[in-house]
């Protein structure tokens, strides 16, 4: 709770409209992001037929859920990066701890690892530089690793669900950072 409260306090600049660094200004509405993703011609400068980045669809859907606001979608990704990365790392490290030792790793060790991982978007400079893709992928990776652990399950149905979850998370991660 303390880590989440401190991270939200530290990221208070992300409330409202966020620009700067590598972050392009968001349009007014999330439907504009979805339209940008579906259009084949974009009126940038003299015009271009280069397709829009794939993450515009993900941000557009998130912004539509948050009240048709593209700025709210960008702010939500930045504000929730540390708490969601903390939760994902906690879940993954608990499972990995049980794979190593049937009783699991000590809670303090899991908490230390999860907090250390959750601070990666902040300490790497991705948050401050406005690199939205790196921030989003750092949140997705622990959930993706946790889903991929399901491939080792002896039940066929659980392996299929792990494949679907892993595929979906990998597609979202690739939309933000294709490299």
Indicate the pLDDT class of residue 20, thresholds 50, 70 and 90. low
Average pLDDT over residues 25-42: 77
What is the C-alpha to C-alpha distance for residues 12 and 14, in angstroms, rounded to an integer? 5
Task: Flag whether pLDDT at 157 surpasses 90.
Answer: yes
Per residue, the 3-state secondary structure of 63-126, as one string, reads HHHCCCCHHHHHHHHHHCHHHHHHHHHHHHHHHHHHHHCCCCCCHHHHHHHHHHHHCHHHHCCH
Q: pTM score, two decimals?
A: 0.80
Condensed to tens digits (0 to 9), the pLDDT of residues 61-114 reads 888 888 887 777 877 888 888 889 999 999 999 998 888 888 888 999 999 999
Per-residue pLDDT, 25? 63
CB 143 within 8 A of CB 95: no
What separation in angstroms does the CA of 179 have from each of 70, 91, 121, 145?
24, 26, 17, 18
Per-residue pLDDT, 22? 55
Per-residue pLDDT, 66? 83
Condensed to tens digits (0 to 9), the pLDDT of residues 134-152 reads 888 999 999 999 999 989 8
**Cα atoms found within 13 Å of the Cα of residue 160, Cβ hemisphere only:** 3
- β-partners of residue 48 are 42
Per-residue pLDDT, 21? 54
Find tokens 């940038």 and name the residue. 44
């Amino acid at each position: 709770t303390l880590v989440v409260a401190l991270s939200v306090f530290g990221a208070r600049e992300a409330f409202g409209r966020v620009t700067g660094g590598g972050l392009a200004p968001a349009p007014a509405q999330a439907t504009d992001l979805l339209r940008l993703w579906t259009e084949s011609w974009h009126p940038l400068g003299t015009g271009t037929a280069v397709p829009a980045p794939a993450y515009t669809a993900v941000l557009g859907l998130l912004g539509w859920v948050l009240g048709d606001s593209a700025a709210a979608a960008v702010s939500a990704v930045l504000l929730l990066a540390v708490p969601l990365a903390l939760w994902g790392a906690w879940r993954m490290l608990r499972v990995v701890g049980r794979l190593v030792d049937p009783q699991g790793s000590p809670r303090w060790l899991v908490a230390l690892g999860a907090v250390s991982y959750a601070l990666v978007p902040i300490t790497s400079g991705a948050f401050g530089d406005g690199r939205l893709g790196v921030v989003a992928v750092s949140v997705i990776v622990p959930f993706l690793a946790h889903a991929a652990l399901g491939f080792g399950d002896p039940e066929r149905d659980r392996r299929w669900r792990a494949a679907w979850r892993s595929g979906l998370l990998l597609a979202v991660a690739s939309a933000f950072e294709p490299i």
